Amino acid sequence: MTKRIARASVLVILVAFANAIADERIPIIFDTDFVMPPWDDSMALMLALQSPEFEIVGVTTVAGNESVERATSDVLRMLEIAGQAGIPVYVGADMPLVHEKSDFAVREYGNWYSNEPPPEPPGGFAQKRAESQSAVSFIVDAVMARPGELTIVAIGPLTNIAQAIRAEPEFAESVKQLVIMGGAIAALPDGAGNVTPNAEFNFWVDPEAARVTLRSGIPVELSPLNVSRKSALTRDWYEKMVAVKNPLTDLLRETLGKRFEIEPERSWFMYDQIAVASIIDPTLVTSERLYVDVDINHGISYGTSVGGREPWPGAEAAEQMNVQYELDWPRFIDMFIERIQRPLP
């Protein structure tokens, strides 16, 4: 009896302790055009999953790198591999708001318009299924249930976020923070685009959604190509990353490893991973407060983000936000590797 009471008290203390930790965690919604490694969204999710600073309230998918069906199928499998299949997944937009498939879109990187069934992810399709609630409905409900508390990490086209903003008038003022991987800012170093000369992929896929989102008044931390270009994932770093064996490094060996087998001397940028890391440790990046807006005219600058220190004619609706442009690469990659190598739950 005494033993049982003692055990019960220990349990009570443990639960209280767990709750105390839970209260300290940063609740996030992870919105992603997810694809398995070597693509960046999956490595960004690995970092988030392996970081006790976060409470991942849900993962929402969107068309971008690939179709939304592929994003959903791959993320469900990733959560199983990471031992966190309990995190709910919600299916989001399968097309941008306005942008239509063009010959240029087909030639360039990205497969957001695809209607092909998703290929089998490493290890086979997940047992786990997506929730029946839509991503937009979930995002709105989750934010409105905890006003001022949730951070949204948006690392794909901003289609779901723009729809959530439009769906609920009080949504924008109820989001604590929105961390976006997207855009390229010519006013800062390394600000060229990666799809068109000046437009970055996520913003270019859904420029209208990017504009609605940036103009919404949600406090934004922007992680554009300027800061991505300060990263350099080489074969040496990759080998350090996979030196410890766990299901995540096994997956990286199987996927990211192929890149370095084919092109051992090449280095790769990291994008979404930096956006996630900057929430855990804001001192990893240097930012400047800029007014940022997105061009939605169907001309040569479609999808281009423009940032300025002062508002300029035509940018009267632009909001000020933190724009990352410099990265402490050695500290970032050390942190990334250390987290990926931690034991899985």
Window contacting Ca ion (CB under 5 A); options: 13-21, 33-41, 225-233, 323-331:
33-41
Q: Which region among 31-39, 66-74, 126-134, 142-150 touches Ca ion (by CB under 5 A)?
A: 31-39
Judge whether 149 and 176 are in contact, CB under 8 Å.
yes
Cα angle at 101 between 100 and 103, to 5 degrees?
A: 135
Cβ–Cβ < 8 Å for 320, 291 = yes
- The answer to whether 295 contacts Ca ion (rule: CB under 5 A) is no
* Among residues 38, 118, 156, 224, the one that binds Ca ion under rule CB under 5 A: 156
Q: Does 270 bind Ca ion (CB under 5 A)?
A: no
What's the min distance (Å) between Cβ of 270 and Ca ion? Answer: 11
Task: Choose between 285 and 318: whose C-beta lies nearer to Ca ion.
Answer: 285
Shortest Å distance, C-beta 185 to Ca ion:
18
In the complex, the smallest distance separating the C-beta of residue 110 from Ca ion, rounded to whole angstroms, is 10
Q: Going by C-beta distance under 8 Å and a sequence separation of 6 or more, which residues neighbour residue 181?
A: 44, 154, 155, 202, 223, 224, 228, 271, 272, 274, 275
How many chain residues touch Ca ion (CB under 5 A)?
5
Is residue 41 a contact point for Ca ion (CB under 5 A)? yes
Shortest spacing between CB 22 and Ca ion, in angstroms: 28
221 Cβ neighbours under 8 A, 6+ residues apart: 177, 178, 179, 180, 275, 278, 279, 287, 321, 322, 324
Nearer to Ca ion, 240 or 259 (CB): 259
Q: How far is the CB of 64 from Ca ion (least distance, A)?
A: 6
Give residues with Cβ within 8 angstroms of 116, minimum separation 6: 67
Contact flag: residue 275 with Ca ion (CB under 5 A): no
Supply the minimum distance, in Å, between the C-beta of residue 242 and Ca ion. 22
Q: Which one, of 143, 96, 103, 60, lies nearest residue 294 by Cα? A: 96
Of 83-91, 94-102, 265-273, 298-306, the window that binds Ca ion (rule: CB under 5 A) is 265-273
* CB neighbour burial string for 133-148, b if at least 16 within 10 angstroms, e if fewer: ebbbbbbbebbeeeee
| Shortest separation between residue 202's beta carbon and Ca ion, angstroms | 6
155 binds Ca ion per the rule CB under 5 A: yes
User: Site residues (CB under 5 A) for Ca ion?
Assistant: 33, 41, 155-156, 272
